[in-house]
Chains A and B, each alone.
Chain A
Amino acid sequence: SAVISQKPSRDICQRGTSLTIQCQVDSQVTMMFWYRQQPGQSLTLIATANQGSEATYESGFVIDKFPISRPNLTFSTLTVSNMSPEDSSIYLCSVLGQISGYTFGSGTRLTVV
């Protein structure tokens, strides 16, 4: 299966600041996704990262708050902007490869203080 490197693995951030999370895949993949897992909760899809165009956001998530880039088929970033304590969550990158199916990164554990 595809191997995903997600950075940083964890961070503690001040409210009002922004954090950019990186997702690097060891092979070209057709689709990349960003999920949020709030404490004790399941995973909720934030957006689908589209290569060369704007991401497709799910209901309740907007580009101004969660800007996403995907410059090529192996890399994407998610920025959590103007953070508040409510943004404290685990953020996970996921990819869908033609052979490997769905694979998840190890996640970024974000705490906003």
Chain B
Amino acid sequence: GEDVEQSLFLSVREGDSSVINCTYTDSSSTYLYWYKQEPGAGLQLLTYIFSNMDMKQDQRLTVLLNKKDKHLSLRIADTQTGDSAIYFCAEIGSSNTGKLIFGQGTTLQVKP
């Protein structure tokens, strides 16, 4: 079945790079997404990558996709305290229903 896994917690120092990892099982996924959830807020779309791409860069964010290993990562350069949040990886399920399958979320803690 469809499953998305993430590590639960990451702690970095301000100014360092953060790398959040995600693995998925559905090899037919077309799009993979990264969302950010700040305390008490909804989900904010950070970026997404199409399955035929290996990398996508958007300012401080870099997404790497290894389709062979079904591994997705989100790198945040020059991490700031405002980046502290929960980050969710999500894929579109192969059932063509349009629904997103979410990972458990990675809590990023940025220490000053």
A-to-B contact residues, CB < 8 Å: 1, 6, 30-31, 33, 41-45, 48, 56, 58, 92, 94, 96, 101-107, 109
Contacts and interface: CB of A to CB of B under 8 A. Distances in A.
Per DSSP, chain A at the interface is strand
Interface in B1-59: 33, 35, 40-45, 48
A31 B48 CA distance: 19
Contact of A45 (B88, B99, B105): B99
B94 interface: no
A43 B88 CA distance: 9
B43 A92 contact: yes
Given A41-B104, A104-B42, A33 B99 contact: yes
Contacts, number: 47
Q: What 3 A-B pairs have minimum CB-CB distances, sorted nearest first?
A: A106-B42, A104-B43, A107-B42
A26 to B, nearest CB: 15
Contacts of A96: 98
B102 A106 contact: no
Given A48-B97, A56-B97, A101-B48, A43 B102 contact: yes
